[in-house]
Structure 1
Amino acid sequence: MSDNPTTPLHSYTPYQPNKVLPIVFAVLIALSLLTHAFQNFRYRFWRVTFFVFYANMVFMTGWILRAVFSHTPLNLALYIGQTILIYAGPPIFAAAEYNILGRLMQYVPMHTPLHPDRVVIVFVYLGALVEALTGAGAGKLAKSTPGTKKYINGGTLIAISLVLQGVIECAFVSLVALIHYRCARAQMLPRNITVICITLYGTSALVLLRCVFRAIEAFTTYTHSCSGGSCGSIVMNEWYLYAFEAAPMVLYTLWLNLFHPGRFLPRNYKRYLDIDGRTERIGPGWIDERPMLLTVADPFNWQNDARGGQKYWTSPEKYTVCEDGSFALGSASNTSAAEKKQYVRRAV
């Protein structure tokens, strides 16, 4: 947008948007979306990785709008829509990691420092806050003129959301590393846990890379008016958007498609790995019988025991051994065909 009313406006962006790349990334994300949906149906893992599907939908729609906007760069509605949706996709991708971590914590409860469900809820709520700040900031940026108070406020909200998301990601990676370390120290580190931990490290690094890019862009955006070519390089050059926003998120989805958590972790949240690192059992799951008000006031149960009061994994003889193989050994599967085969074998 131009601050000089006599200067003709050719686009709501400080450059003429590329007409090909939005289509390329929309197609790549659509392919990832279909692949992930297929795997979710195959492994019946929707409850854990639904956010990946949802984020793909949001992100893909954003790039589709971007492709249309590139042909009509003076369409304000399209500019606002694509800006908000492209900004909104990555925080939703990050939310998928929280659910995956929660399932990993349920799989190795003896090495979990906190109640898995409480941790997931805290991360998801913080992620929702990031999403709300991101949406509000992107909306203000898209609907205002550079240099105005509303524009600066939008950039400020974006910057705050990015800093918060970066802090959340760092806390998330620290928690994954703690569980990874405890499993390794206890010699309970089979291939499936290693793959999940490395996957979470990698996807978090991609989210952090995007956060750094967007943070630099935000600080550049709301401290410059973008008039007379004074705007920073990131804002003035479109290729940064594709290199540090679109590409990392496409790699994120590709990584999760290649190493889908449904291949490595059980669908049943009560199924856990015994201390021998090979046997899997069906336990009672994490149970919190405290009143609702107390769970809200003390979500991590610091009043008693941070890992819950029951510690069912200390009495493995009480719980049934899974006879359909072991995810730790790579012999178990979440597919319906595997369960049907196991059912037939039991009947015989």
Structure 2
Amino acid sequence: MTGWIVRCISSYHPANVNLYIVQTVLIYVGPPIYSASAYNIVGRLMNYLPVHAVLNPNRVLITFVYIGAAVESMTVAGAAKNASAGSNLSEYKAGGTLIAVGLILQGAVETVVIAIVATVHRRCARAGKVPRNVRKLCITLYGTSTLVLLRCIFRAVEAFEMFSHLACRENCGPILSHEWFLYAFELGPMLVFTWWLNVLHPGRSLPNEKNRYLDLDGRTERLGPGWVDRRSTWATFVDPFDLGGMMKGEPAHDLYWLRPNEWPVCDDGSFALGTASNARNRVEEKPGEIPLAREV
């Protein structure tokens, strides 16, 4: 939002290079930050469906955030170089190269996120149990990631057009000559992204507790121990998919969902059935008593 406000101000002061740099950098770096919210939802979805998890749910956010930080750094550096290059053609090219690499990486990351969500969704479908809240979350994640991917494709096309018209003074190509492309393919997708996550807020479909999971029957929710990986933290970063354990047939995480009788049933409703809510506490507390839904 700040980037677009500064862009509006910058249009009245076209000779102010600092305003141009600020709006360029902020508009470029917004979508990758938005994507971090989707990464968080993916991790929480796999906490809720541990039996279908592709990798350690507790490592999804931080793994993708590190990758996103690399993308962000390249995008910021490229946008700053590009905006401040002036007549320096080598700086302009260097900035454009960094932006292009960042866009390619961002697009690759969004493709991986879509693939992970699709894998979880497909596993649920094969098990014959895709609750309404899970279906809604999957559709939301498909949509938001596709919007970011669409924006990356637009920016990549823009970058190629920019490099092919480095010395132009007029008729520099449709994207560079008409600002509505920027509003339609940069601002538009991010506005829809914001609207989508507010209308279909994931907090309505997922519990607050990370250790609350959906049982194998697709209806009952229990409070388990949460995802327990017996490997070191460093090992989970090096091999987040636990490929070594899968090849040996000995996964490094505890399959606690196969022992449902050990974990208490949540008696405040079920998100899968639409009877639970994060907005209010459905458990009636008595003095000195811990509600079942809060026991571990």
Q: 1:278/1:293 Cα in 2 relative to 1: closer, same or farther (>3 Å)? A: closer
Alignment equivalent of 1:93, drawn from 21, 26, 34: 34
Conserved? CA contact 1:151–1:222, under 8 Å: no
Report the counterpart of residue 225 of structure 1 in structure 2: 166
Conserved? CA contact 1:105–1:112, under 8 Å: yes
Question: In the aligned structure 2, how far is the partner of 1:264 from the partner of 1:208?
Answer: 24
RCO comparison, higher one (Cα < 8 Å, 6+): 1
The gaps in structure 1 that reach 5 residues or longer are 1-59
Report the counterpart of residue 262 of structure 1 in structure 2: 203
Flag as ranges the 4+ runs of structure 1 deviating above 6 A. 345-348
Report the counterpart of residue 321 of structure 1 in structure 2: 265
- Are residue 235 (structure 1) and residue 176 (structure 2) matched? yes
Question: In the aligned structure 2, how far is the partner of 1:189 from the partner of 1:140?
Answer: 48
Question: In the aligned structure 2, how far is the partner of 1:261 from the partner of 1:345?
Answer: 30
Question: In the aligned structure 2, how far is the partner of 1:296 from the partner of 1:181?
Answer: 25
Question: In the aligned structure 1, how far is the partner of 2:251 from the partner of 2:52?
Answer: 9
Q: 1:334/1:226 Cα in 2 relative to 1: closer, same or farther (>3 Å)? A: farther
Q: 1:293/1:255 Cα in 2 relative to 1: closer, same or farther (>3 Å)? A: closer
Alignment equivalent of 2:224, drawn from 265, 283, 289: 283
Report the counterpart of residue 131 of structure 1 in structure 2: 72
Conserved? CA contact 1:112–1:307, under 8 Å: no
Identical counterparts, % of pairs: 53
Q: 1:209/1:296 Cα in 2 relative to 1: closer, same or farther (>3 Å)? A: closer
Question: In the aligned structure 2, how far is the partner of 1:220 from the partner of 1:126?
Answer: 27
**Structure 1 residue 185: deviation in Å?**
1.1
**Structure 1 residue 103: deviation in Å?**
0.3
Letter in 2 for 1:186: A
Report the counterpart of residue 156 of structure 1 in structure 2: 97
Conserved? CA contact 1:183–1:189, under 8 Å: yes
Question: In the aligned structure 1, how far is the partner of 2:234 from the partner of 2:166?
Answer: 49
**Structure 1 residue 188: deviation in Å?**
1.9
Question: In the aligned structure 2, how far is the partner of 1:328 from the partner of 1:148?
Answer: 57
Structure 1 residues 211-222: aligned runs within 5 Å: 211-222=152-163
Q: 1:344/1:292 Cα in 2 relative to 1: closer, same or farther (>3 Å)? A: closer
Report the counterpart of residue 332 of structure 1 in structure 2: 276
**Structure 1 residue 291: deviation in Å?**
3.2
Q: Under a length normalisation based on structure 1, what TM-score does the superposition of the two structures give?
A: 0.78
**Structure 1 residue 278: deviation in Å?**
0.5
Tell me which moved more, 216-225 or 256-265: 216-225
- Are residue 69 (structure 1) and residue 13 (structure 2) matched? no
- Are residue 342 (structure 1) and residue 286 (structure 2) matched? no
Question: In the aligned structure 1, how far is the partner of 2:57 from the partner of 2:180?
Answer: 40
Alignment equivalent of 1:84, drawn from 5, 10, 25: 25
Structure 1 residues 32-47: aligned runs within 5 Å: none
Alignment equivalent of 2:255, drawn from 292, 304, 311: 311
Conserved? CA contact 2:56–2:229, under 8 Å: no
How many residue pairs get aligned? The number is 286
**Structure 1 residue 226: deviation in Å?**
4.8
Q: 1:307/1:208 Cα in 2 relative to 1: closer, same or farther (>3 Å)? A: farther
After superposition, what is the alpha-carbon deviation per residue over 1:107-153, rounded to whole angstroms, capped at 9, x for unaligned? 00001121112233322211111111110110011001367011011
- Are residue 141 (structure 1) and residue 82 (structure 2) matched? yes
After superposition, what is the alpha-carbon deviation per residue over 1:65-104, rounded to whole angstroms, capped at 9, x for unaligned? 1121122121111110000000000111111111100000
Conserved? CA contact 1:134–1:157, under 8 Å: yes
Question: In the aligned structure 1, how far is the partner of 2:131 from the partner of 2:277?
Answer: 16
Q: 1:220/1:147 Cα in 2 relative to 1: closer, same or farther (>3 Å)? A: farther
1:281 counterpart SS class: strand
Report the counterpart of residue 188 of structure 1 in structure 2: 129
Q: Under a length normalisation based on structure 2, what TM-score does the superposition of the two structures give?
A: 0.91
- Are residue 122 (structure 1) and residue 63 (structure 2) matched? yes
**Structure 1 residue 230: deviation in Å?**
4.7
Conserved? CA contact 1:115–1:307, under 8 Å: no
**Structure 1 residue 304: deviation in Å?**
2.2
Letter in 1 for 2:98: L
